[in-house]
Structure formats: C-alpha cells, structure tokens
Copies of this chain bind each other. A is one copy, B any other.
Amino acid sequence: MSDHYVIGLDFGTNSARAIIVNTTTGEEIGASVFDFPTGEKGILLDVRNPDLARQHPRDYLAAVTATISGAIEQAASSGDFSPDRIIGIGVDTTGSTPIPVDKDGTPLALRDEFANEPAAMAWLWKDHTGHAEAAEITALARKMRPEYLAKCGGVYSSEWFWSKILQCRRSNPRVFEAAYTWVEHADWMTGILTGTAHPDAIKRCICAAGHKAMFNPNWGGYPDAPFIEALDPALSRVRATLPDSAHNIAESAGGLSEEWAHNLGLVPGIPVAMGAFDAHLGAVGSGIRPGVLVKIIGTSCCDMLVAPMTQTVPDVPGLCGIVPESILPECFGLEAGQSAVGDIFNWFVSYMRPEGETHDTLTAKAAQLRPGESGLLALDWHNGNRCVLVDQRLTGGVIGMTLHTRPEELYRALIEATAFGARIIMERFLEYGVNVERIVNCGGISGKNALLMQIYADVMGRPLEISASAQTCALGAAMAGAVVAGKKAGGHDDFNEAAMAMARMDDKTYAPLPENQKMYDRLFALYKRLHDSFGVQGRQDSLFDVMKELLAIRDAARR
C-alpha cells in the first residue's frame, strides 16, 4: 500500500506555513512559509494607540496559495509523493482574531470602501483596544451570569471576541453597522477552503467559541440574549447571527471546494477538519493527553492541559478557559498562557538595540551568568498579563539596576521573568488539583534556546521534554486532517492513533539543577511579591493602581 499525506496549514502572528506530512511515519516531506506583507511584520500598528494590532484578510488568502503550492513543490522531489495522495487538510490560526464580514461572508476589508480601515480588518489576538469593554463585560457577567466567568478564569479579556466587537461598536460605528456578523480567523479559513464562508453556512469551532466567546453547551451555546441586550442592545443583532452549535477538530468543516482544489492542484472534496487555535493544535501535535502539560513557547506562551470529560474539573481562577472538546474530542480543554515571551526578548533586541548584540550573542553571554548574580528582577508583563491575573492594564518592569548593569544581565532577567510567570501558572493548576505529570514543550523557542529551557527547568523544578517537530501547530493541524480523512482513506480513526504514528519527542530533556533551583526559589519569592503588589487588588499599601494610573496618564498624554 502506498503512503498517504495530509496538509497542516498554520497561521501564526507574523507568517503562515503549510507542511505536508506522511500519515504513517509522521515524516514531513514539504514545507513552505509566507510572511504576511501588510504592516510591520504582518501587523498593522498605530503609533497613537499601542493597544491596536490588526491584520489584513487578503494576506490570509495569499498565504493559502503560496504556502500550499510551495509545500507541494518541495514534496514533489520526494520519490513516492504526488498531490493526489493528499487525503485531508487541517487548519490552525491565532485567536481570538475576529473578522467583521458582510451579509455574503466577505470580510469588510476586502471591499473597496473599507480597504484601508483598520477597524474593518482582522482584530489580531494581541489587540488590546477593548480593555475598557473587557472590564465592562466582566462586571456585567459577575452580576448577571457568574457561570460565564467561571469557565474563563474569572475575568473576560480584552484579547477576546466580545471585547473587540463591543470596542468596534464604540469606536467605529460605521464598520460596526456594515458588519453583518464577526467570524474567527480559524472559521473563516475553513469556510473559505470548503466554500461555506457564507454567514448562514459557516461552521464555528468550539475552540474559539468556547475559549473566547463564552460558548458552552452547559448554557446552550453563546451568551444568552438578555445578557447581550444588557451589555449593549446593538450587539443583539450580531448575537442573532451566531449558530447554536460549535464543532471540535474531529469533525469536518466540509470538502475542499472545486475552485481551491483546482487552484492548488489537489483532489476536490478531500475533507477539511474544523479549525482550532495554533496553541490547541500545537498541543495535539505534541501528543497531549491527560496529565501532560504542553507549553507552546513562541512570541507568547500557551499552556494546555486536557482532562477526560468523565471526570469533574474544578473551575480554576485565572485560566483562559475550560471548554469541552476544545483540544481533543471527549476531553475538557484547559488553556492558560502568557501574553508575551519571545516578544519580550525581541523587544529588547529590536527596540532597545544594544549595540553589537543579537539574540545569539546575548544568550551566549547570559549563559555565563549564575542565577541571581545580576541582582535584577523583572516582570514579564510587557504585553499585559494573560494568566493568572488576566489583566492587560499591566506593564513590564525591572528593578535592581546599578551603574554597572549590562545588556546580557537584563536579557537574562527577562528570560527569568517569563520563567517565573510560567511557574505561577503551573502552581495555579496544581493548587486546584489538576494533574501535571509531565511537561512537554514545543514552539519556536523550545527547540532552539537551551539557556531558556534550562532556566525554565530550574525555576519550575520539573524535567522538561521537547517535541521533536519544529512545527507542532502545523503537525497538529495535519493530524486533524488525517483524523477527518479516517483510517479507510489512509488516515487515522482517532487522535490517539494519529499521535502514535505522527507525534514524537526529542531525545533531549532538561533536568533542573538543584543548586540553581534553590537560588531561583529565593528569586521567585521576590517575583511573587512584585506580582502581587502590582497585580492583586485589595491589599493594603499595595501598588495595584500604579501601572494602571501610568497607562491612564499615557493615554491622556497621547490624545
């Protein structure tokens, strides 16, 4: 029997990639990357409003053609391969990245009248313009529907679906009125590929709906009409366009449309799996199962766990969400994360620009330092705090500078800060009785930054495993493509089977060094002090309002 192949299509923050994977061996025989051309590294920014981050949907369409064609071209040199052996496609994207679309399902930004209007584009996950609206939603839910908050960690975030739509209504009524509904990037992609992007036909994935839009079967789907009405009557019209059901990645969004099959040289009708967020499919590509914490460490970090739906899972405050089947079918998906990790190191190199230094030189010098010897302590909140404080109105910080402090010391302090943030999340899971037996790491940073991984192992006090694939998100998407294709077609019947065939661990494991661990325990205690003083409300003489007041002053000064 000949081998079969699946495509994993992965939309990241700055670029998209497609990979072609052998369903039997897990071998990746073709890959292609496409950098989004619009804005700064694919992101439209606004100097007057640092909270704003948008993407142009036309970049998404260009990426499909470029990456799949590129991957096929590369795979063609593989002996056995031909495009008609591709039996399924899976897709992951960032999120919550909602796109306003018209009654035909066309993104407003693809219409001439809105071509250059940021509010008409995709509202990228890291857009924080809706922070006031997020606070409003949290306050209302606390009063009216506390159960909504319990499933999303106790606080509704500015990074999420409803905050963004409500912010659009407030800041750009013209776009808000022109938008018939709002579609998550992941759902729009599977809708496009299967010709079901029309608002009446489009299927929505449980991953985005459950984690970002307060969808839960417990209360019959999306937030109910009275709640939306109380939030803002204008939203009721949007709420009415949303379906009653949402779908997991074992389900098909439909077959590949004739048009796309023709464009890409693929077989029409091959199944396209329901989409999910990159982190969720990264966890799948890392072989997630109950007891395994998967950390996807890249520009930001996502922490993923699953628990069988036959068990009861407590509501853990400060998580991003607990959603049935958001990661694997028949399991609760638990998501947590950090708003920025690699982005912080990139900021230091690209914005602070220490002369003559690169990530490599700084890493090499930082590796020569012993834990604690710089005297520095940093906070990893340059992009706010996603977990466990769930507060975007927090900012970065560092103390301990002297007249002798050097760039590599600050660089290491920033790495350590993200490690302390990672420990806070792990400890929150453990505190609520969620089982963490193993920790598997994947994502851009885990495979290439040994210093960071060792610091994480030392700070967290746990051995850290690494996924063998450098593209676990795309691999997880490919696995979803294999599962919707099914065993009979050359794929797999479930994710367990797919993981056995396609997901692998690296040989390298990072073990904590007891001496470093001891030093980091002392530093972590100090990190916790800053964390709680700036981040937790209601403590006497705390600094809780200081960062918030600074941001209020900043916003006033820029106006």
Chain A residues within CB distance 8 Å of chain B: 45, 50, 340, 343-344, 346-347, 351-357, 370-377, 379, 382-383, 395-407, 410, 519, 522-523, 526, 529-530, 533-534, 539-543, 546-547, 549-551, 553-554, 556-558
Contact = CB atoms under 8 A, between A and B. Distances in A.
A contacts with B: majority SS = mixed
A343 B402 CA distance: 10
A351 B406 contact: yes
B395 A379 contact: no
A397 B395 contact: no
A556 B551 CA distance: 37
Contacts of A352: 352, 354, 405, 407, 410
B374 A554 contact: yes
The 6 closest A-B pairs by CB, nearest first: A396-B401, A375-B554, A397-B399, A373-B557, A372-B557, A353-B355
Nearest to A536: B541
A351 B396 contact: no
A355 B349 CA distance: 10
Contact of A402 (B382, B399, B540): B382
Contacts of A347: 401, 403-405
Contacts of A376: 550
Given A352-B407, A354-B353, A397-B397, A526 B550 contact: yes
Nearest to A376: B550
A543 B522 contact: no
Contacts of A533: 533, 541, 543
Contact of A400 (B375, B395, B410): B395
A539 B539 CA distance: 12
A523 B557 CA distance: 12
A546 B558 contact: no
Given A533-B533, A540-B541, A396 B395 contact: no
A383 B403 contact: yes
A345 B419 CA distance: 30
Given A354-B352, A370-B557, A557-B519, A546 B401 contact: no
A407 B370 CA distance: 27
A89 to B, nearest CB: 33
A543 B356 CA distance: 36
A46 to B, nearest CB: 10
Nearest to A395: B400
A503 to B, nearest CB: 32
A403 B354 contact: no
Contacts of A399: 379, 395-397, 534, 546-547, 550
A530 B399 CA distance: 11
Given A405-B351, A407-B352, A540-B541, A397 B400 contact: yes
Contacts of A340: 403
Contacts of A529: 543, 546
User: Which of A377, A406, A543, A551: most chain B CB closer than 10 A?
Assistant: A543
A412 to B, nearest CB: 12
A554 B372 CA distance: 5
16 contacts: A347-B401, A351-B403, A351-B404, A352-B354, A352-B405, A353-B407, A372-B556, A379-B399, A382-B401, A382-B403, A397-B399, A397-B401, A526-B549, A529-B543, A533-B541, A539-B541
A558 B407 CA distance: 18
User: Which of A355, A357, A402, A407: most chain B CB closer than 10 A?
Assistant: A402
A463 to B, nearest CB: 24
Contacts of A549: 522, 526
B398 A343 contact: no
Contacts of A373: 554, 557-558
Contact of A546 (B403, B526, B540, B556): B526
Nearest to A539: B541
Contact of A375 (B344, B370, B526, B551): B551
Given A50-B402, A351-B403, A533-B543, 10 more contacts: A351-B405, A352-B405, A354-B354, A375-B550, A382-B403, A399-B534, A399-B546, A526-B546, A526-B549, A530-B543
A553 B372 contact: yes
User: Which of A375, A383, A551: most chain B CB closer than 10 A?
Assistant: A375
B407 A351 contact: yes
User: Which of A346, A395, A523: most chain B CB closer than 10 A?
Assistant: A395
A471 B467 CA distance: 65
A383 B402 contact: yes
A540 B543 contact: no
Contacts of A558: 370, 373
A546 to B, nearest CB: 5
B407 A401 contact: no
